Amino acid sequence: MKKKKKLFWFLLPSYWILTAVAIVAIAIYVFQSMANLNEQTLETDIKTRALMLADRISPLLDQNAEEQINQLCQQQGKKTSTRFTIVLPNGRVIGDSNALPSEMENHSNRFEVQQALAGELGKSLRTSQTLENELLYVAVPLFDTNGAIRCAVRASLPITAIREQLRPMTTRVIMATIITGFIAMFVCIVVVRRITRPLQTMSQAALKFAEGELNHRVPQQDVDELQHLSESLNRMSSQLSDTLSTIIKQRNEQNAVLKSMDEGVLAIDTNNRIIHANRVAGEILGINHREIKKTSINEIVKDAEMINFMTQVTKDQQRCNRELEFQQEERIKIIQASGRALWNSTDDSIGALIVMRDVTHLRHLEKVKTDFVANVSHELKTPITAIQGFVETLLSDEWKHTKSARRFLEIIRQQSGRLNNIVDDLLTLSRLEQADTNIIRKPNRILKVVENAIKIVELQASDKKIKVETDIPKKIEWTINAPLIEQAMVNLLSNAVKYSDPEKKIVIQVIEEQDQLSIRITDKGYGIDQKNLNRLFERFYRIDSGRSSKQGGTGLGLSIVKHIVQTHQGIIKVESQEGVGSTFQIILPAHREEPVNQQDSSV
Ligand code: ADP
């Protein structure tokens, strides 16, 4: 960029030029006035000399004494160092102080003479043809008593005399001009400095503000406008300082919050460059969170699944939750990642916010728990089967038991049967937990699946004279794991039968709408109190445990249903009213080969 001129050097030359022009103009004016005055004085002087001579010539003219007139001219010319010439109206010279009149040419063509012979004062500045030097001529007319012009009396002085007189004056004017010029130049410097210095001070202050020195203050100014400007600058800096401290405080608070979070927080822009990462995010990704600002995630995250997830969030600008297996060196971490788009104040997307939680330990504990339950259930299965076998044997007719012994054996059979059911349900649950979402799904006709489930509960329903009606379009096909959905249907239908009075009706309705399948099972049973609805799907949660036990319930049926639905990325809902009946609704989304979003399941 071209270097800019300083204000001082910008103003000073203009001031100097302006002052120089003014001084020179004044000097010329003064000089001219003096020259004019001098010329006028000289002119009056010459005129007076001519008039005085004219007075003395008048009587000589009466006598026609041309010789005396010429002598008078010579005498007076010598005395007064003036050249006198007497010219008759016909232009003939009859007297001259410096030349012989008889040798002089006719003077009627001389301008000043012409004017005098015309009755006016004649003036002319020119080189004398007779004397050959520059002269100032003044000619006056001499009238007779009748007012007729008798002659013109001309007096002249060399102009060099006037110039000689003017020379010292010119020198003085030039000297005065130079001195005044120097003084004016100095005054200009002082004035320009007085103008530029406060501006310089303010510009330096503004520079300091820009560099962050907001405690700096602009000094007081003598000029009103500049004082206003300096006050405004000071006010602005103190406001900036306040705003800055508020921002710093807020940022510190935000940093403190982000720092002490257990979750990793990562903000990325639309080009996948990191805007912010907290300590935990750094730990999860195995990087130093302080050194990665503005770095692309592709450079620091080596795990393809994690990069895909982040790219997807920035691209889709939608909420996205996923559990990722994150390979880091030799270890595999399980990260629960949740991403959403970042919006600025004008609602434009500026990137994405990823919140990460390391659930490796949690998942490990869950696995240990599931394995433990599965192992225990598995280990219990053999003794229970043995107990059930021996009880059945003991209850056969071969054995003669007392009445109370038979009653005890009946209780053992009933309780071991219950225990067996619980163990079966626990094994089913742990199998479901282990399978998670990795179940095999195929397109299946829903009507077929539901009919299979109905067959299983048919006997139970007919015992209570309960009818099961269906409203299922034949052609509906859905990609599901048929045995699991059948199991869920059996559990729901079995509950509907168990918790209904005899001769009631159960309706199964299947509707395909947009991208989801809805299966509704409605009964006219006992219904469920609103306060119990929230906990209905918890393991071993039973509303009326006495009634449930009597019906052979384990309290695990609905948990199994919920798990099955979740493995299909679906949701289960329940609506119920005590004494009226219940409706359980399973909603299954259309199956995608590689599910992207694991939606929150709601009950
Ligand atoms: P259980 O084996 O005891 O039936 P579930 O998990 O299947 O266990 O059900 C939990 C509880 O929910 C049951 O004890 C019962 O009180 C209630 N319940 C389930 N289905 C129904 C229904 N269709 N009508 C009324 N209550 C129900």
Per the prediction, the chain carries an average pLDDT of: 88
Output 155 or 214, whichever has higher pLDDT: 155
As a whole number of angstroms, the distance between CA 9 and CA 246 comes to 42
Query: Which of 523, 542, 577 gets mutated to test ligand 1 (max ligand atoms within 8 A of its CB)?
Result: 542
Does the CB atom of residue 272 touch ligand 1 within 6 A? no
pLDDT at 456 over 50: yes
CATH topology of domain 261-358: Beta-Lactamase (3.30.450)
The string of pLDDT tens digits covering residues 102-150 is 888 898 899 999 999 999 999 998 887 766 778 889 999 999 888 889 9
pLDDT at 593 over 70: no
pLDDT at 594 over 70: no
- Mean of pLDDT values over 310-330: 83
Closest alpha carbon to 479 in 449, 521, 434: 449
Strand locations in 345-476, DSSP E? Answer: 349-358, 442-445, 467-471
- Mean of pLDDT values over 82-90: 92
Expressed in angstroms and rounded, the spacing between residue 583 Cα and the centre of ligand 1 is 12
- pLDDT value for 598: 39
- pLDDT value for 436: 67
Does the CB atom of residue 582 touch ligand 1 within 6 A? yes
- pLDDT value for 437: 62
Check residue 449 and give left, alpha or beta (phi > 0: left; psi -120 to 50: alpha).
alpha
- pLDDT value for 488: 96
The string of pLDDT tens digits covering residues 518-573 is 999 999 999 999 999 989 999 988 887 777 777 777 889 999 999 999 999 999 99
Q: Which CATH class is domain 442-589?
A: alpha beta
The string of pLDDT tens digits covering residues 189-203 is 999 898 888 888 888
The string of pLDDT tens digits covering residues 17-54 is 999 999 999 989 988 888 888 888 888 989 999 999 99
Does the CB atom of residue 524 touch ligand 1 within 6 A? no
Closest atom of ligand 1 relative to the 545 alpha carbon: 14
439: Cβ–Cβ under 8 A, 6 or more apart, which residues? 481, 484, 567, 568
Q: Where are the alpha helices (DSSP H) in 260-359?
A: 279-285, 297-300, 304-316
Query: Which of 418, 466, 526, 558 gets mutated to test ligand 1 (max ligand atoms within 8 A of its CB)?
Result: 558
CATH topology of domain 364-435: Helix Hairpins (1.10.287)
- pLDDT value for 433: 80
Nearest CA to ligand 1 atom 14: 542
Tell me which CATH code domain 7-164 carries.
3.30.450.20
Q: Please, which pLDDT band fits residue 579 given cuts at 50, 70 and 90?
A: very high
- pLDDT value for 288: 80
Q: What percent of the chain has pLDDT over 70?
A: 97
8 Å CB contact between 526 and 500: yes
- pLDDT value for 120: 92
Q: At residue 61, what are phi and psi to the nearest 5 degrees?
A: -65, -35
pTM above threshold 0.85: no
Helix and strand numbers (H, E) in the chain are: 15, 17
pLDDT at 448 over 90: yes
3-state helix, strand, coil in the chain (%, to 5): 55, 20, 25
Write down the domain spans for the chain: 7-164, 215-257, 261-358, 364-435, 442-589
Does the CB atom of residue 542 touch ligand 1 within 6 A? yes
Does the CB atom of residue 581 touch ligand 1 within 6 A? no
The string of pLDDT tens digits covering residues 402-423 is 889 999 999 999 889 989 988 9
Q: Please, which pLDDT band fits residue 450 given cuts at 50, 70 and 90?
A: very high
Does the CB atom of residue 544 touch ligand 1 within 6 A? yes
- pLDDT value for 299: 84
Q: Which two tokens stand for residue 248?
A: 């710093």
Question: CA angle at residue 181 from 176 to 186, to 5 degrees?
Answer: 130
Q: Where are the alpha helices (DSSP H) in 138-219?
A: 159-210
Does the CB atom of residue 536 touch ligand 1 within 6 A? yes
Whether 7-164 and 261-358 share one fold: the answer is: yes
Q: How many residues does the structure list for the chain? A: 603
pLDDT at 289 over 80: no
